[in-house]
Every structure is written in structure tokens, then in C-alpha cells.
A and B are shown apart, each in its own frame.
Chain A
Amino acid sequence: MNVLRLIARGWLLQVKMMSRSAFNGVLQIVWPLFFATITFLMYGSTNQRALVSAAVGASVLGIWSSTSTSGAAVIQRERRQGTLELLVAAPAPFAATILPVTLAMSTIGAYSMVATFVWGRLLFGISVPLAHPLLLPFAVVVTIVSVGMLGFLLSVAVVRFRSAWALGNMFEFPIWLVCGFLVPLSLLPGWVRPISWLLAPTWGVQAIRAAMLGGSPLPAIGLAALCGAAYAGIAIGLSERLVRAARRDATLALS
């Protein structure tokens, strides 16, 4: 229970901090709008169904966008600020101090989701239906949490890279592409499909699409949650190993 409270409090604190940050707050809302605008203009009004589907995908890409670059750099940021030692020395599990940060990053993406729908509606007249209004919030929350878990895994996996932000930044477009945010997965080469299946954003965007455009969102919600839980398990194991190794070799503050 204490760990859950720590994660909840940490998440709230980080969301408040990021909401006031120009990079993590303002840019993460504006940046996806550029791509949404291009997508709306490219699809035009000739293919209404594809346009609406792309609009839903464009609204979700901000969730990954706000997590990829910043999420990869979470531990480096703590190290640079001199707070990493404090987090490791705290009696709470190390994972419970890092996870709220990446969860907060993906939560910020929800702002961009709303902004993209408003942008699409006001400037392009895109009206998105709402097939399952009760399941939509559920699909959005599960997507945010599972993407936050992916960010957590990324932050731990790239910890040994001094310029981890560049690796996170590198993953922004590939995930948009491979997870079918803006392009149907059927257009991609067949060998890409298994990679997509292992990525929670694929199921997240499918769940949100089904909740809005019709279809059954529950299987995709379940798979997104499953992926998120798997990422969390792997990341917790990795973070424990990381902390043990850093304590043993006295390398915690080294970058």
C-alpha cells in the first residue's frame, strides 16, 4: 500500500512539475499538432474513413512522444541533478521512485490527445464518432499506463548510455510507424507485424480506435495491459540489478 501511495504521490508531483515545463509541457502539446496537421492535410477530405482513423492515431501519438525522449533520460536527469543517490538510498524500492516519472510523462500526452481532437475539429472539421463512450476512458488510461511502463523500461534499459535522450528521441518515429498510429499495419512489410505485437502502443491505439470508431476495444485493452505489466516486470528486475551493480562498483554518480 505504501508503494502504491508513493507512486500516486510521485506521479501527481511530477505531472504538476511537467505541466509547468516548456519542454515537457508546452512542446509536448504543440509538437504532435505539427504531425497531426500534416496528416490531416495529406489525407484531405477524399477518404473520410482513413482521415478519421488517422485523426485518432494522431491524437494518441503525443502519448508516446512525451515519453520517448524524456523517459529515456530520466535516470541521467536524476544523476545530473544529484538526486540519484538520494533515490537509491531511500527505503522505498528504486523502481517505485522512477516509475511515477515516466507515468507522468505519458499522462502529459493526454493533454496533446485533447488538443489534437480540438485542433482537428476546429480547423479541419473532423468529427470523430464515439462508439463506446464508457470504454474510451478505460482504453485511454490503460494506454497511458502501458506507454508509461514502456518509458520506464526504456529509462532502465538505456541507463548505461551517457546520451540516453538521443536514443529515446531516435525511437519516436519508429514507434509511430510500427505501431500503426498514422498508417494501417497492413501496409507495412509482414516481418514488422511481430514487432508491432510486442509493443503496447500498438494495442493502445487499436483500443482507442475501436472505442471511438466501433469494434470491440476490450481485447486490445487487455493486450495493452499485458504488455505494460510485462514491461514493468522486466524493468523492475533490471533496475534492481542496476542498483546492485552501481552500489558494488561505486559507479552510481558516474555518467
Chain B
Amino acid sequence: MTALATITPTAWLRIFFVGGLTSYRALFNWIRPAILIPTFVVLPVFQILLFVYIGRSARIESDEFFVIGNALQFAATPCLFAMADTISGERQQHTLSLILVSPAPRIPLFLGRSLPVIANGFLASAFALAAAGLLLGIRMPLAAVLPLVLAIAVTSLSCTGLGLVNAALGLRVRETAVLSNVIFGILLVFCGVNVPLARLPHWMAVASGYLPLTHGIAAARRMADGAPLNAVAGLIGLELLVGMVYVVLGFALLQVFERESRRTASLDRF
């Protein structure tokens, strides 16, 4: 406890930035070209094309609707999988107990890992939006570019918050890949990515308000249609709020699971 109390601001920042980046690079093995290109370059474009064509076949919404929805939703891929890998991956590498007995404060230790994940989510989403937009000839006002960048950044942050919850659950669930895929699927169905919220059953539309992505996607769509940033500031703010709630929840769950695993000596049991 003494070490926790006496940590210097420099050490805190070093754990947050250097430790976070090191953990991300060490534990998230998708950032090699052999995985990165198929997963973050090819896959999102085909996900967008798939839904654009279903939309054309079902005669609902424009191509732009599906391009924006799926591009922003694709931020969930790194935010869920990378976050789970960079925290619960410690258990698979048998380094979790070493991390947890270290005197490092938990906030920079765990939250520092989320910063590279947010950047990854942002880049994956921005690339998907640009590539699919060019491919399908989507035109947006030039003035919408910077606000869209903001919307993507905030959405990546809020998705990473959910990723932190996912990572915490990964300390209890053995199959983190299954869990991440299921959460990805839930976001795809609930958040108005491909189905307008008005077409969802009422309870699903209500639930979508409490999930990341929903408000960010709505804001991005309105900005792409020419709405100024101040007209969608409320939606961006809601997206940020939802993200922060998940960050706090994820961090709290990590604390609870750490305490429980110490109490019951069950750190490596799951």
C-alpha cells in the first residue's frame, strides 16, 4: 500500500502510456500485416458491401446509411477484441498474477491499455468509411469531415468502454473470443447500424440508447447530411456519456474480480 501511495506522477504517466502501449503490442497479435490486412482492411469493406446490397434488395435506406453505420460499428472489432486480449490475455500468458501482485496503481495499469485500442478503433473505422465511401461513390460535404472525425473518435472511445467491461468479464469467462463475437453481434443488431431504430421493436430501440455506437452513428449520419456540429452536440455528448459509464463499470468490474480472485485463490481457475 505504501508503494501505491508514493508513486510519482511520472511513474503514473509511464505506466499509463508506455505500459499501455507495451501491453497492447505484446498481447494483441492482430497488428501484424498477415492479420491486420484481412481483418481491418478487407473485412469491413465486405461487411459494408453485404449490407448495402441487402439494403438495395430490401429497398430500405440509402447506401450512405449502411456505409456510415457499418464503418462506425466496425470500431467495435478492435475495441472488443483488443481490449479483451490486452487485459484477459495476461491470464493466458500466465502473467496476470505477476501484474496483480505488482504495486502499480490500477487506473493507469488498466486504462492505459485502452488508449492504443481507441486509436486502433478510430483508424479501422475511418479507413472503412473512406474506402467504402470511395468504392460506392458516397458524397459528403467537405465541412462534415472534421465533425465526422470527432464522431468516430468519440464512438471508438465509447466502444472501448464496453471493451473494458468485456475484458473484465474475460477474467471470469474462458472463451473471450466467443464473448467478444456475441457482443459484436448485439451491437450490430441493436444500435441502428443496418436497421433504422424506428423499425426495431420498441424494447430494442429503448435498449439501444444505453449501448455505445447508437448516438455516435446517429450523429455521424446527420453530419453527413449537412447538419452542423452544434446541431448534433447532444448526440455526441450522449455517446461520450455512455462510453464513460462503461469505462467506470469496466474498471469497477476489474476491481471486483481482482478482489474476488485474491479472496478465493481462483485467479487461474477460469
Interchain CA distance A192-B30 in the complex, whole Å: 30
Interchain CA distance A188-B53 in the complex, whole Å: 8
Say whether B35 contacts A38, CB under 8 Å: no
Total interface residues in chain B, CB < 8 Å: 35
Chain A residue numbers with a CB within 8 Å of B47 are 173
Q: In chain A between 1 and 50, which residues have their CB closer than 8 angstroms to a CB of chain B?
A: 22-23, 26-27, 30-31, 33-34, 37-39, 41-44, 47, 50
Chain B residue numbers with a CB within 8 Å of A176 are 50
Say whether A30 contacts B42, CB under 8 Å: no
Interchain CA distance A241-B209 in the complex, whole Å: 55
Interchain CA distance A167-B182 in the complex, whole Å: 21
Closest CB of chain B to A59's CB: distance in Å? 15
List residues of chain A with CB under 8 Å of any chain B CB: 22-23, 26-27, 30-31, 33-34, 37-39, 41-44, 47, 50, 54, 161-163, 166-167, 169-170, 172-174, 176-177, 182-184, 187-188
19 contacting pairs across A/B (C-beta < 8 A): A30-B182, A34-B186, A34-B188, A38-B189, A38-B194, A41-B189, A42-B54, A42-B194, A42-B195, A43-B57, A44-B58, A163-B35, A166-B39, A169-B39, A170-B38, A170-B42, A182-B57, A183-B50, A183-B54
- Return the 7 tightest CB-CB contacts between A and B, nearest first: A34-B185, A170-B38, A173-B46, A22-B175, A166-B35, A163-B34, A183-B53
Further contacts, 8 of them, CB under 8 A, given A44-B199, A54-B54: A26-B178, A42-B55, A42-B58, A43-B58, A44-B60, A166-B35, A173-B49, A182-B53
List residues of chain B with CB under 8 Å of any chain A CB: 30, 32, 34-35, 38-39, 42-43, 46-47, 49-51, 53-60, 174-175, 177-178, 181-182, 185-186, 188-189, 194-195, 199-200
